[in-house]
Structure 1
Amino acid sequence: MTAALLGGLGALITPSAAQAANLLSNPGFESGTLSDWSCTGNTGSVVSNPVHGGTKALAGAASATDNARCSQTVSVQPNTAYTLSAWVRGNYVHLGVVGGAATWTPSASGYTQLTVSFTTGASQRTAEVYLHGWYGQGTYHADDLSLDGPGGGDDGEAPTTPSSPRVTGTSTTSVSLAWNASTDNVGVTGYDVHRDGALATSVTGTAATVTGLTAGTEYRFTIRAKDRAGNVSPHSPAVTATTDETGGEDPRFVQAAPYLYLGWGNPPSPAEVVNTTGVKWFTMAFILAQNGCNPAWDSQRPLTGGVDESTIQAIRAAGGDIVPSIGGWSGNKLGPNCSSAEALAGAYQKVIDAYDLKAIDVDIENTDEFENAVVQDRILGALKIVKQNNPGLRTILTFPTLNTGPNSWGNRLIERAHALDADIDNFTIMPFNFGGGADMYGSTVKATHGLKNKLMSAFGWNEAQAYAHIGISGMNDSSDTGEVTTPQIWTQIRDWANSHDIGRLAFWSVNRDRPNWEFTSITAGFTG
């Protein structure tokens, strides 16, 4: 194996000794993402259990048609010895380097360390290391990988200093920043944002939002660029920002936004609904995928130039506004069709730019998005990116629930939102379809209590903070399973929501609320 890597000169040259350094980026997946790793067929995800060290590990979902291969390419020195190791768990887990050594374990019920050594060729400058399971053998786990040896020998050049740092937005608890890109002889891989001398966040683009700040407080920020070899630029010039004062305008995100769907049910005149009921927001359904990672209404109608854009204009002319619902139960969705968080963020950005939006809602349901760990993380990553790139934008996640609160997939979604620092403004549950005859008021309150408790546990919020991040999206009249929510019950739910200062109230749908817009009028009385 060594001779193959060294080629014809292998017998004449003595490999240099490796130095103690881990060349892999994100080796323990503690970033909470697959950053710097590439996994085939969206088979990789980051999990919090089981782990070997730290709090995160890789899960590779091997199937009958995909061995869940995850790889990373690093810079190396020619004619140099390296040692690759990983802690793995599962059946037929393989570890190796392309063109070099490999090893595997037939079965590891607990974490077992795999190790291989290899020597680079005389002119080799990169090495691709990989892990994979085996077809039909189920999910494997890996953690705490290490590639021990000296980094790419010729890259001792640091990136240039990020220039023109600037404040692009503030709130009571956050500051949004932007800067001009750095350059590097090989390539810039990311930026570290420092707050008052300490690392606050790391991003791959030229904008970031630092959260968790205190109202009415001045902060000082600098930015440093970094490359794959670990070279880091000098700090940028400092920029200062003061968070907004508490008081005055309500800093909370409060939205009463019943669904309006132009693809079904003789859609009503939105201006008539606004003028009759006083409602100011509509959740407008549904943005889906068209021809890959391209957003379109119902996968068919373009974002601009059609009935959807003219409807939005009519709503705004009447004094209202819209939040688009991206996803839903059925249809061809953006989450599975976009290949990465960055690509998905680009699709979301097209929607934001088309309508100059103040908020977006991702309705994450069914097995293709909600019950898919990779897609969950992709959606959260994309929402984090657009939040950073659009200061002031509000982000909403809408998802199903049990009558006791989030199910295991809902719990995971919340935990990952915290781990990825996605900065979601509102977690909206859909408390219905529990079964015919359910107590819709009692079940809704019970489910919302469960969500509140999960948010407090995951984020460390108090009750008031948790409620402020909660939304309820009900179903007027009869649900899919025959439950009945009457106007009287919906009024009870609205009043309970107001008394607990939750952040959002919606229902499906205005199209079904005829002839008097009774549920819409009740919803318009939601004040948070």
Structure 2
Amino acid sequence: MRTRNRVLACASTTLIACAGVVAAPSAHAANLLTNPGFESGNLTGWSCSGGSGSVVGSPVHSGTKALAAAATASTNARCAQTVSVQPNTAYTLSGWVRGAYVHLGVTGGTAAWTPSASTYTRLSVSFTTGASQTSAEVYLHGWYGQGTYNADDISLDGPGGGDDDEAPTAPANLRVTGTTSSSVALAWNAASDNVGVTGYDVYRDGTLATSVTGTTATVGGLSPSTAYSFTVRAKDRAGNTSPDSAAVRATTQPGGGGPGFVQAAPYLYLGWGNPPSATEVMRATGIKWYTMAFILAQNGCNPAWDSQRPLLGGVDETTIKAIRAAGGDIVPSIGGWSGNKLGPNCATAQALAGAYQKVIDAYDLKAIDVDIENTDEFENPAVQDRILTALKIVKQNNPGLRTILTFPTLRTGPNSWGNRLIEQAKALDAGIDNWTIMPFNFSGHDDMYGATISATEGLKAKLKSVFGWSDAEAYAHIGISGMNGSSDVGEVTTPQIWTQIRDWSNAHHIGRLAFWSVNRDRPNWEFTRITAGFTG
């Protein structure tokens, strides 16, 4: 494919002056763009050719929204915005883009572009305005026939145009409204300005953390049990910025449960499908965790691998030791779709907790996963409650243990049995750390990326409703367990689709990513390598 170099040579007729022109000093740098992160949920401030642009919830670079613009054979999906600027002044235009041959530039001036960005990539250009220039048009576009590109967090830094030199007042009453082990939620009172406040910059320990248009923000990517200081500045369209608000301090929650628990753990099944060498796959892909399948019941309420292999003294224990010697770890999958399961075979929650404890003690586990499916467990109220109560007991008896529930889902989120499971977990105070859905087997649905995201968003909404969590808290309690290649009903998840799902999962900071299974990921372990890039 051929592309034109969009970087224009310096000419006296261009609107943007060339390098070497002395720029007037800039008193306060500010983002001059309206709706720079598309967090308004619409294209306010932007104009996209031929209706090619829209605002989407994923994939995003930060926040909850981003631009999606579809480049077809007849349009390069150009989206632009014009702002007021000052003459003879230096500006920096930057942004995060994703897609093929995405351009970011200034009309009549310079541009930057990327030939192929499978994940969000930062582009940046600097320019100096002409001697009499008072406006500049910034733009994004893809390339003809190259499909949809995404853009987020676009910034034009420098002083605004016009005669307004009055800064907004400092935001008042900055306060902490919530914390997790990896995020802090903030709110403040609106600032005032002679013309109007256009947004706020939130600083963490003196470094810009995020920009918003409203009076609330959540700063993510933080470390557990760590103190941070936050301030906020207001800004107006002319580029004037307010003084800092009064600082507020917040300490994130410990990482010992729920948010902050991150696990990339594809399934490894030693009882089926010519199982590969776990350590060879680790060396080839960088994966550290495995979900090892399956712990079932043997002779009543006794745990065993596939109902037949002992916990200790067999290939499973040998494999776990090798994984740990190589710097990794495992979480056992207890249950599954078929087989003789512990949930129905252990008569009481206490007996079931005892069975779980045998597994925990055998391997000194950091986490356990109960894969609750089918009519014998998932669609059985008594067994649901037994499992939840047993998990509550083992959490009480094993401080720091993480508990995971893996269960089926609809495209729209949990079905009635999934909703009951979540509601009962709240009622019983089970303290489940991660809710992992299996978004496949949707009767041949052909958009596996869209279906996965829709199902995950439905789970998020349910968790928020039941537990009263914020978006960030709900995402941190969520896991996705997909199926590489073809599902049982013929749906196909390609490596490209799985990469999209992983990137969305990273952008939304969910807690867990898995797939069924490494045994099927041959010959190059491509899905495992993609999963190893999950960072939560």
What TM-score do the two structures reach when normalised by structure 2?
0.53
RMSD: 2.3
1:335 corresponds, among 321, 343, 355, to 343
1:514 maps onto 2:522 in alignment: yes
The offset of 1:261, in angstroms, is: 0.1
Give the total of aligned pairs.
293
Contact 2:181 2:260 in 1 (8 A): no
2:412 corresponds, among 404, 407, 415, to 404
**In the alignment, residue 535 of structure 2 is paired with which amino acid?**
T
1:269 maps onto 2:253 in alignment: no
Deviations along 1:233-260, one digit per CA (max 9) or x if unpaired, are xxxxxxxxxx986489996000000000
1:453 maps onto 2:490 in alignment: no
1:424 corresponds, among 410, 427, 432, to 432
Identical-residue share of aligned pairs (%):
81
Give the match for residue 297 of structure 2. 289
Following superposition of structure 1 onto structure 2, how do residues 208-219 of structure 1 map, counting pairs within 5 Å?
A: none
Q: State the distance in 2 between where 1:313 and 1:396 align.
A: 22
Q: State the distance in 2 between where 1:247 and 1:295 align.
A: 32
Shift in alpha-carbon separation, 1:498–1:290, aligned structure 2, 3 A: same
**In the alignment, residue 435 of structure 2 is paired with which amino acid?**
F
The offset of 1:215, in angstroms, is: 6.8
Deviations along 1:373-412, one digit per CA (max 9) or x if unpaired, are 0000000000000000000000000000000000000000
3-state secondary structure, aligned to 2:334: strand
Q: State the distance in 2 between where 1:364 and 1:249 align.
A: 24
1:466 maps onto 2:474 in alignment: yes
1:362 maps onto 2:336 in alignment: no
Runs of 4+ in 1 over 4 A off after TM superposition: 214-217, 243-251
Give the match for residue 499 of structure 2. 491
1:308 corresponds, among 316, 319, 322, to 316
3-state secondary structure, aligned to 1:481: coil
Shift in alpha-carbon separation, 1:421–1:437, aligned structure 2, 3 A: closer
Shift in alpha-carbon separation, 1:248–1:471, aligned structure 2, 3 A: closer
Shift in alpha-carbon separation, 1:248–1:336, aligned structure 2, 3 A: closer
Q: State the distance in 1 between where 2:317 and 2:394 align.
A: 21
Shift in alpha-carbon separation, 1:443–1:392, aligned structure 2, 3 A: same
**In the alignment, residue 410 of structure 1 is paired with which amino acid?**
G
Contact 2:295 2:305 in 1 (8 A): yes
Q: State the distance in 1 between where 2:253 and 2:400 align.
A: 16
Q: State the distance in 1 between where 2:438 and 2:253 align.
A: 31
Shift in alpha-carbon separation, 1:425–1:487, aligned structure 2, 3 A: same
What TM-score do the two structures reach when normalised by structure 1?
0.54
**In the alignment, residue 485 of structure 2 is paired with which amino acid?**
D
The offset of 1:318, in angstroms, is: 1.0
Q: State the distance in 1 between where 2:348 and 2:329 align.
A: 30
Give the match for residue 513 of structure 2. 505
3-state secondary structure, aligned to 1:526: coil
The offset of 1:438, in angstroms, is: 2.3
Q: State the distance in 2 between where 1:298 and 1:369 align.
A: 17
Following superposition of structure 1 onto structure 2, how do residues 345-356 of structure 1 map, counting pairs within 5 Å?
A: 345-356=353-364
3-state secondary structure, aligned to 2:293: strand
Following superposition of structure 1 onto structure 2, how do residues 191-206 of structure 1 map, counting pairs within 5 Å?
A: none
Give the match for residue 120 of structure 1. none
The offset of 1:474, in angstroms, is: 0.1
The offset of 1:172, in angstroms, is: 6.5
Contact 2:181 2:254 in 1 (8 A): no
Q: State the distance in 1 between where 2:292 and 2:379 align.
A: 24
Give the match for residue 395 of structure 1. 403
Q: State the distance in 2 between where 1:443 and 1:360 align.
A: 27
Shift in alpha-carbon separation, 1:255–1:216, aligned structure 2, 3 A: closer
1:523 maps onto 2:527 in alignment: no
The offset of 1:317, in angstroms, is: 1.0
3-state secondary structure, aligned to 2:312: coil
